[in-house]
Structure 1
Amino acid sequence: MTRERLALPLAALAAVVALAVTSCSSSGSTGSSGASGSPTAPKAASAAVDYNPQPYDRVRTGGTYTTAGTFDDQGNPFDADATLTAARIWFWYNADAITYSPTGDVQYNPDYYSHVDVKVSGGNQVVTLTINPKAVFNDGTPIDWTAIEATWKANNGSDPKFNVSSTDGYDQITSVRPGADAKQAVITFKGVDASWPALFSTFLHPKAATVANFNGAYLKKANPQWGAGPYTVGTWDTHSGNVTFVRNPKWWGKPGKLDKRVFVKLDSTAAVNAFRNGQIDYTATGSAEGLKQISGINGTQIRRGGSPFEYSLYLNAKSPVLSELPVRKAVLEAIDRNQVARIEFQGLDYSEPLPGSGLLFSFQKGYQDNVSKVLSYSPADARKELDAAGWTAGSDGIRAKNGRKLEIGYTLIGSDPLDKALAQAFAAMLKQVGVKVDIRTVDESDFSKVLSTRDFDLFLSGNRSLDPFGQRYLCQEYCSTSASNLTGTGTAELDQQIKAVSQIADLDQQIAAANKVEQQELQQYAFLPLFSGPSIYAVKDGLANVGATIFGTPLPETIGWQS
């Protein structure tokens, strides 16, 4: 999938199901801004899984699986405006050709790719995908090399009219052509791309890969005729926001176990109540109060494990009040991430080290704490930064410059009490250094709009990593030209360094180089990783292949009720 790192609001965690599952927000540690300050703090975020894994033949045929959820404004997950919601819905009626184990091992789905061959010739990588001869889109179009070609052309950046999430990797491909026949796609790279599976874990119908359809055909709309998989759209209610998937009669593989997969549009609070009342089969939480509400219900169980999420504070450098680098640096120096962690994880019996990167998780090979190398929590230093930049405190303690007060907006998504507590904590921290924070609350449904229009000064948002190759999204996160760079920072020089990283063939060396570039990007002082945390779910007894899977992606036909 093009955008393997998808954004979502904090409150949305209790209402979304990414791929087979949803993960929950959480965590921090108890140390200073760069490292854990407690001898008992863990050295890495949790990599535990808990999802009742069951083989296909141990899942009974029949039944309905219902959760909170709805479709997104932009339903094409390759689009820059898509969020995790788009990936969640896409998963249920489009190709899941490459998935991952919980630890990140690549798994090829033979229903789509019956054989995969990777070779390097003359320093250039050639990937040959042999496509299952039975594979066909729902409209009858064969799934062949043209789907791979169309996906590449839409995402490689050669046509700027495509609103792509990221060109990373696609722009290293020099050609996609047929092999022995139309059912074989031969992909040739310039150099070597060790994490290429992230590019073609799913693909577009060639008709969906025109500019008009790529950007507009999935706006609050499904296109089941262009889909392919064990399920297809049953109902898509634009009035209620509810979505139902049913078995796809045109599917050539093992049939889906469920009769229906239902998403009901509910906010996070309503989802908890619906679970307690038995109306939905699964819900998630990231708070102690939420955990209390979903625990101890007859016929249910709590599943918890690690998380492929990372939540960060974003500063909009395009906002006039945050256009000055010293102001942005002072804001970040004033943020006590340990306090944020204490608020976020109170009552959850969980701790983790403060995240030091926006690319990899601390349990992954090659992870490095880059934040601590460029930033420390220090209100005293924040005050000095603001003094030197000419912002002086008034009688009310709020700083001003040239007759303008230092007031910053914080955009809060939804009405979740924990989210409100975090917003108020940020306001209190910044008030201590003379910065006034105005909290503006918008509806959860406006999340995508806030991102696409960059309608914020300060914003807390998360990424769900759908694959283990975090370093490949260096440009998506930080390039000055990237539509997914929420901060609006970056320079042409750093863009070139990022591009050079993408050309490194050895995966370990690529990660090491990405860490060095990220340290420079972090010195733009517009992005601060805050926490990753546990995944905590309440599920009805017997629900199989759903829960905390980290990078794991159980196929949709295996999800259901244990026999």
Structure 2
Amino acid sequence: MRNLNRIGGAAAITAALALTACGGGGGSTGPETAKGQEAGSDLSKLISVNEKPAADLEQGGKVTLPLGNIGPDFNGFSNNGNSADNSALQIPMNPVAVNSGGIGGCWKLDFEGKASPNKDFCETVENEVEDGKQTITIKVNEKATYNDGTPIDIKAFQNTWNILKSPDAGYDIVSSGAYEFVESVEAGSSDKEIIVKTSQPVYPLEDLFFGLIHPAVNSPEIFNEGFNGELHPEWMAGPFKLDQYDTAAKTVTLVPNEKWWGNKPVLENVVFRQLETSAQIAAFKNGEIDAMSANTISLYKQLEGTSNSEVRRGQRLFAGGMNLNAQRITDVAVREAIFAAVDREALRKVRFNGLNWEEPSSGSMMLLPFSEYYQDNYPVKETGPEAAKKVLTDAGYTENANGIMEKDGKPAAFKISNFGDDPTTLAFTQTLQQQLQAGGMDVGIDQRASADFGKVLGSREFDMSVSGYTVGADATSAVKQYYDSKTNENQLGDAELDKKIADLASIEDNAERNKAAMEVEKEHMAKYFSMGVVMNGPQISFVRTGLANYGPSLFQSLSQVPDWTTLGWEKK
């Protein structure tokens, strides 16, 4: 499942693709020249985390990291809780449930996006296909137990399946994914052996049980409402545990979990603070937080030269910029005109101004251009103000006295929601507004705080937002989340596309399956115009000198922490 991200530079701690790493105490050198990668890149060169063995680090210590929003809904499987910040917050204390970001439930990813069993929870995962039927056998770690003493066993797997297998059961799930093809989840020789049978083969295997839901979360009421303002640490399992959630100070403090059976963490404290972008700048310069993203030139210049810091630079695993709410912008012609009016290159120049970053126009929400499976699916070839007006004219719109295109007395009018107080992000939104206005549309800006991001996007309280999603290494789960008519939040699609999406999950060959997913995206974009990629963009992180095992780490970590048990400080 892909997490929502706003396009701003600092709020979401997200996975990133490192191209270079410059350090040396925050010297005033400016960003290094870098380009977005294309297929065939040597991804082993694209990691920058200051990797150190845990044994070589100071035992103990504290790390403080910023988030754009903490809560209010902490259920990452629900639409209201589906944000990158929520995942980043919960990975260190609840990796059993986190359903994206490099680790979750039965699975963990390496930096290239290859999956293997997460042995803290699932020691082995075996797959067998016979006569078109698939049997998956999972051996659960005997020690795996939730904080409340509930064993992680067949009940957790059955509960996860029952909740996620259908969007029609009353649970506000993001996507049913491959669970709709699961026929049964039963215990084998013990409650720690899980036998999963499917109605058709399901690939990739990690689309199942990448995150498990505690058996106590067993009703739509608990799932949809029970995590509003409540973290429920008793239903978690991980190397850290919740020490304090201070709603007034907007901080979450974690300490090592004495019940954890895996590798013990180096740190004795992890603190997350909810901070607006401007507050993050002051906090980092004052030594109150230990890292922050600086993905715009305004942020970079304000942080440049900060003592006791270094820069770790890369490419964000992000796609987006134009997120349209089709339940508000209901006319597909208006949505197509938005795509036609946008000058993506000009927007990227605003966004990347001064960052020495170049990238081609990306045309997929699901894969980045460096993926061997990538193809450009952007649905509009003719762009500019006149192209946008032609789309509207062909749909029956005419220009009124104010220069706004309207139809049946109703103007093409909407607002763009912009989050946070970073001036570069606002300039990007204002430039987008001007491009759309030049295309004959009446467009305003709905300015929101970073802390409102999860609520606004989760409850669909926007017309168009400057936001997007994290990008994975395989398009199979994303194509269903974004483009299945029963799953995507815009409820756009049709039976023909839904059938293609259902069929592709059973294609074992990775290249063939991803090609099929790409073709679905191409067709959906050309019909419905709901999400458009303006940019992928760089990840530039300012990090406190001496912080080890933190930084851009590709698909291995959404939070830039490849392994929370090894995050710590170099010995002085």
- Mark yes or no: TM-score above 0.5: yes
Q: What is the match of residue 478 of structure 2? A: 473
Q: CA offset at residue 282 of structure 1? A: 0.5
Aligned pair partner of 1:202 in 193, 197, 211: 211
SS, match of residue 557 in structure 1: coil
3-state SS of the aligned residue for 1:520?
Answer: helix
Aligned to 1:514: 517
Picking from 190, 200, 205, the partner of 1:191 is: 200
- Which of 551, 559, 562 is the matching residue for 2:567? 559
Measured after TM superposition, the shift of residue 208 of structure 1 is 2.1
Q: CA RMSD in A?
A: 2.2
Q: Which amino acid in 1 is paired with 2:459?
A: T
| Deviation for aligned residue 1:42 | 6.0
Moved more, 153-162 or 76-85: 153-162
Q: Work out which of the residue numbers 516, 522, 529 in structure 2 matches 1:525.
A: 529
Question: Is 1:502 matched up with 2:511?
Answer: no
Task: State the shift of 1:158 in Å.
Answer: 7.1
Which residue of 1 is the match for residue 543 of structure 2? 539
- Count of residue correspondences: 536
Q: 1:172 aligns with which of 168, 181, 186?
A: 181
Kindly provide the amino acid, as one letter, of the partner of residue 515 in structure 2: A
Alignment partner of 1:228 is 2:232:
no
Contact 2:7-2:466 at 8 Å conserved across structures: yes
How far 1:333 moved relative to its partner?
0.5
Q: What is the match of residue 349 of structure 1? A: 356
Match of 1:550 in 2: 554
**Distance verdict in 2 for CA 1:41–1:225, change over 3 Å:** closer
Judged with a 3 Å threshold, the aligned counterparts in structure 2 of structure 1 residues 41 and 136 are, in CA distance, closer, same or farther, namely: closer
Q: 2:254 aligns with which of 245, 257, 264?
A: 245
Choose from 42, 64, 67 the match for 1:66: 64
User: 1:136, 1:143 within 8 Å by CA — same for their partners in 2?
Assistant: yes
Name structure 1 gaps, 5 residues minimum: 25-39
Q: Does 1:51 align with 2:49?
A: yes
What one-letter code is carried by the residue in structure 2 that aligns with 1:17?
A: I
What's the counterpart of residue 430 of structure 2?
A: 424
How far did residue 44 of structure 1 move? 5.6
| Inter-CA distance 363–138: structure 2 relative to 1 (3 Å threshold) | same
Looking at structure 2, the residues matched to 43 and 510 of structure 1 have their Cα atoms a distance apart, in angstroms, of 20
After TM superposition, give the deviation of residue 513 of structure 1 in Å: 1.3
Query: In structure 2, how many angstroms separate the alpha carbons of the residues matched to 1:181 and 1:294?
Result: 55
Shift in CA distance, 227/211, structure 1 to aligned 2, threshold 3 Å: same
Query: Which position in structure 2 is the counterpart of 1:36?
Result: none
The percent identity for this pair of structures is 30
- 1:541–1:522: structure 2 CA closer, same or farther, 3 Å change rule? same
For residues 42-441 of structure 1, the aligned pairs below 5 Å read 43=38, 48-69=46-67, 70-82=69-81, 83-94=83-94, 95=96, 96-97=104-105, 98-157=107-166, 160-319=169-328, 322-371=329-378, 374-441=380-447
CA contact (8 A) 1:44 1:353 kept: no
* Contact preservation (8 Å) 1:358, 1:529: yes
Match of 2:461 among 450, 455, 470: 455
Greater shift after overlay, 363-372 or 449-458? 449-458
SS of alignment partner, residue 411 of structure 1: strand
Report the Cα distance in structure 1 between the residues aligned to 2:168 and 2:394, rounded to whole angstroms.
45
* Partner Cα separation in structure 2 for residue 43 and residue 134 of structure 1: 43
Measured at CA, do residues 444 and 208 of structure 1 come closer, stay the same or move farther in structure 2, by a change above 3 Å? same
TM-score (normalizing by structure 2): 0.89
Q: Distance in 1 between matches of 2:167 and 2:361?
A: 39
Shift of 1:336: 0.3
- State the alpha-carbon separation in 2 of the partners of residues 99 and 531 from structure 1: 27
Secondary structure of 2:358's counterpart equals: coil
Residues of 1 paired with 2:124 and 2:522: CA distance?
Answer: 39
Deviation at 1:41, TM superposition (A): 8.2
Distance 1:506 1:43, change over 3 A: closer
- Report the counterpart of residue 491 of structure 1 in structure 2: 494
Per the alignment, residue 31 of structure 1 pairs with: none
Aligned mates of 1:389, 1:290 — CA distance in 2: 42
Cα deviation for residue 506 of structure 1 reads: 2.7
Shift of 1:518: 1.1
Give 1:251 shift.
Answer: 0.9
Partner of 1:29: none
Q: How far apart, in 1, do the equivalents of 2:222 and 2:286 lie?
A: 41
In terms of mean alpha carbon deviation, does 89-98 or 509-518 score higher? Answer: 89-98
Letter in 2 for 1:560: G
Contact 1:45 1:306 in 2 (8 A): no
Name the counterpart of 2:4.
Answer: 7
**Alpha-carbon distance between aligned partners in 2 of 1:176 and 1:194, rounded to the nearest angstrom:** 17
Q: 1:546 to 1:333 in 2, by over 3 A?
A: same
Q: Which amino acid aligns with 1:85?
A: D
Single out whichever of 171-180 and 270-279 deviates more from structure 2. 171-180
> How much has 1:169 moved relative to structure 2?
0.8
Residues 309-318 or 250-259, more deviating:
309-318
How far off is 1:45 after superposition? 11
SS at match of 2:321: strand
- Offset of 1:463 from its aligned partner? 0.7
Residues 325-349 of structure 1 show CA distances to partners (whole Å, capped at 9, x for unaligned) of 2222122101000011111111111
Secondary structure (helix, strand or coil) at the match of 1:154 reads helix
The answer to whether the 8 Å contact 1:41/1:351 transfers is yes
Distance in 2 (CA, whole Å) between partners of 1:84 and 1:177 is 32
Cα distance in 2 for residues equivalent to 1:556 and 1:177: 32
Which stretch shows the higher mean deviation, 161-170 or 391-400? Answer: 391-400
Question: Once the 2 structures are TM-superposed, how far is the Cα of residue 196 of structure 1 from its aligned partner?
Answer: 2.1
Task: Give the Cα separation in 1 of the matches to 2:491 and 2:202.
Answer: 27
Separation (CA, whole Å) in 1 of partners of 2:61 and 2:469: 32
- Counterpart code for 2:340: E
Aligned to 1:30: none
Give the letter aligned to residue 10 of structure 1.
Answer: I
Post-superposition offset of 1:58: 2.9
Equivalent residue number for residue 28 of structure 1: none
Q: Which amino acid aligns with 1:366?
A: Y
Which digits, 9 at most, give the CA deviation of each residue in 1:424-448, with x for residues without a partner? 1112112222212111212222222
The structure-2 alpha-carbon separation of the partners of 1:418 and 1:253, relative to structure 1 and needing over 3 Å to count, comes to same
Which whole-Å CA distance do the structure 1 matches of 2:40 and 2:246 have between them?
A: 39
Worse-superposed segment, 297-306 or 43-52: 43-52
1:443 maps to which of 445, 449, 470 = 449
Give the equivalent residue in structure 2 for 1:33: none
Asked if the contact 2:78/2:224 (under 8 Å) is kept, the reply is yes
Query: Which amino acid is 1:80 matched to?
Result: N
Give the Å deviation of 1:56.
2.9
Deviations 1:258-298 (A, max 9, x none): 11000112111111111011111011011012112222222
**Structure 1's 441 and 375: CA in aligned 2 closer, same or farther, altered over 3 A?**
same
Distance 1:105 1:53, change over 3 A: farther
* More divergent stretch after superposition (54-63 vs 423-432): 54-63
Determine the C-alpha separation between the residues in 2 that align with 1:23 and 1:216. 35
How far the C-alpha of 1:303 sits from its partner, in A, is 0.2
Structure 1 stretch displaced more, 250-259 or 101-110: 101-110
Q: Which moved more, 1:88-97 or 1:396-405?
A: 396-405
Please state how far the C-alpha of 1:65 moved relative to its aligned partner: 0.5
TM-score, length-normalised on structure 1? 0.90
User: Is the CA contact (8 Å cut-off) linking 1:303 and 1:539 kept in structure 2?
Assistant: yes
